[in-house]
């Protein structure tokens, strides 16, 4: 596909369970002309995210059928009638799933990228984007992780998971345990990313595997960043120490199937152990964006941490990238480079 013509992904059917490629269509669209107060952006990178799955069910705030989908993106301004944006500016905005977008500075989160020297563009949709911000808010605000504490994170090899591992290490966590969906991911966590222990949740009951991983470090954890829900949450509640904290970020085990899972069956342990369980929504933490960048950019520059992305090449792989992410094909944050 050439970007001389615009393309957008439309949802054309409501999925039941896992979505399939038949639920989407690539639609050719005229490249829009900016009206006064707007700028035309040629998208460079798109983010495909678990929350998109929920929006695909429709209902209030959900995606409408037959219109371009929305998502985080970074792109370059190619024509501007917005006095705040100049041709050539790199911007973050939410009009992804398409090759070209009309945006207005300050509207729907559209902002100019700070363009830190030595930081790749991918970082702005991964560890410096909503993904990293979620992990940062979960650790520094919701769970208030302290130096020397032990942490468990689920979906640890994904976007929020890898960001959580990096940030927790920088904050001085003692042991970091992760769960993921394959032996290769487990090896990546303990090998490349410096996790102290990791396990494949397919290999046995999550609670037992987590208890074993924690026992190797003396037993117990202080903080759980939950990306998965269900049996992961139940296992973590069992292993958390008194006064432990759960930052509940997501429940991907529920997004494509049973929305009322059997687990956790041990919720009352929250009382027995004086635990704190609190939900995290990144949109309530956008005020931390500058703080996140100041905290992480020196470590990205020095190479101490990476951006951790899987990048699909070409806009026509957007749907495939989204479906692949739901099935666990990604290491780090799943992105799409518009020009393959």
Ligand X SMILES: NC(=O)c1ccc[n+]([C@@H]2O[C@H](COP(=O)([O-])OP(=O)(O)OC[C@H]3O[C@@H](n4cnc5c(N)ncnc54)[C@H](OP(=O)(O)O)[C@@H]3O)[C@@H](O)[C@H]2O)c1
CA angle 222, 223, 229 (to 5 degrees): 130
Helix spans in 216-268 (H): 231-239
Nearest approach, Cβ of residue 6 and ligand X (Å): 26
Q: Which is nearer to ligand X, 100 or 245 (CB)?
A: 245
- CA–CA separation, 230 and 250 (whole Å): 10
Spatial contact of 75 and 41, defined as CB atoms under 8 Å apart: yes
Backbone angles phi, psi at 125, to 5 degrees: -115, 5
**Which residues make up the interface to ligand X (CB under 6 A)?**
49-51, 130-131, 134, 155, 157-161, 180-182, 185, 201, 227-228, 249-253, 280-282, 325, 328, 330, 333-334
Spatial contact of 108 and 65, defined as CB atoms under 8 Å apart: no
Q: Which is nearer to ligand X, 34 or 250 (CB)?
A: 250
Q: Which is nearer to ligand X, 6 or 158 (CB)?
A: 158
Nearest approach, Cβ of residue 27 and ligand X (Å): 25
Q: Which is nearer to ligand X, 34 or 130 (CB)?
A: 130
CA angle 190, 192, 197 (to 5 degrees): 10
Helix (H, G, I), strand (E, B) or coil at 6: strand
Q: Which is nearer to ligand X, 81 or 295 (CB)?
A: 295
Q: Which is nearer to ligand X, 84 or 328 (CB)?
A: 328
Nearest approach, Cβ of residue 39 and ligand X (Å): 27
Q: Which is nearer to ligand X, 131 or 140 (CB)?
A: 131
Q: How far is CA 134 from CA 113, 143, 287, 303, 335, in A?
A: 18, 12, 12, 21, 17
Nearest approach, Cβ of residue 339 and ligand X (Å): 23
Nearest approach, Cβ of residue 75 and ligand X (Å): 20
DSSP lists the bridge partners of residue 208 as: none
Helix spans in the chain (H): 50-55, 130-137, 159-170, 183-191, 206-215, 231-239, 269-272, 289-302, 318-326
Spatial contact of 41 and 93, defined as CB atoms under 8 Å apart: yes
Nearest approach, Cβ of residue 232 and ligand X (Å): 7
Q: Which is nearer to ligand X, 34 or 159 (CB)?
A: 159
Beta strands in the chain (DSSP E): 6-11, 24-29, 39-47, 73-80, 90-93, 100-103, 111-112, 151-153, 176-180, 197-200, 221-226, 240-248, 276-279, 309-313, 333-337
Nearest approach, Cβ of residue 19 and ligand X (Å): 13
Nearest approach, Cβ of residue 78 and ligand X (Å): 28
Backbone angles phi, psi at 66, to 5 degrees: 75, 20
Q: Which is nearer to ligand X, 6 or 235 (CB)?
A: 235
Nearest approach, Cβ of residue 202 and ligand X (Å): 9
- CA–CA separation, 81 and 176 (whole Å): 49
């Amino acid at each position: 596909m050439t970007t001389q013509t615009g393309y957008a992904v439309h949802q054309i059917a409501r999925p039941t369970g896992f979505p399939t490629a038949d639920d989407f269509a690539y639609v050719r669209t005229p490249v829009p002309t900016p009206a006064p107060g707007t700028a035309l952006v040629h998208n460079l990178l798109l983010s495909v995210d678990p929350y998109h799955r929920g929006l695909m069910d429709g209902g209030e705030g959900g995606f409408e059928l037959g219109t371009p989908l929305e998502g985080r993106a970074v792109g370059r301004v190619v024509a501007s009638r917005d006095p705040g944006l100049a041709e050539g500016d790199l911007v973050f905005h939410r009009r992804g799933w398409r090759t070209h977008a009309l945006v207005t500075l300050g509207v729907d989160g559209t902002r100019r990228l700070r363009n830190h020297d030595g930081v790749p563009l991918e970082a702005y949709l991964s560890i410096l984007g909503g993904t990293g911000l979620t992990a940062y808010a979960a650790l520094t605000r919701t769970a208030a992780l302290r130096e020397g504490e032990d942490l468990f994170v689920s979906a640890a090899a994904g976007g929020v998971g890898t960001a959580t591992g990096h940030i927790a290490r920088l904050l001085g966590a003692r042991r970091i345990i992760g769960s993921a969906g394959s032996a290769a991911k487990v090896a990546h966590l303990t090998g490349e990313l410096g996790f102290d222990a990791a396990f494949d949740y397919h290999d046995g009951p999550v609670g037992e595997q987590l208890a074993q991983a924690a026992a190797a470090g003396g037993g117990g954890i202080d903080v759980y960043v939950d990306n998965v829900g269900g049996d992961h949450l139940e296992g973590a509640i069992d292993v958390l120490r008194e006064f432990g904290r759960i930052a509940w970020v997501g429940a991907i085990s529920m997004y494509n199937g049973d929305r009322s899972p059997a687990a956790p069956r041990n919720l009352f342990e929250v009382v027995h152990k004086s635990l704190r369980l609190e939900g995290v929504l990144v949109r309530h933490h956008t005020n931390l964006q500058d703080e996140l960048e100041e905290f992480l950019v020196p470590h990205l520059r020095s190479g101490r941490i990476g951006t951790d992305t899987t990048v699909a090449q070409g806009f026509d792989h957007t749907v495939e990238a989204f479906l692949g992410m739901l099935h666990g094909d990604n290491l780090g944050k799943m992105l799409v480079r518009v020009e393959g």
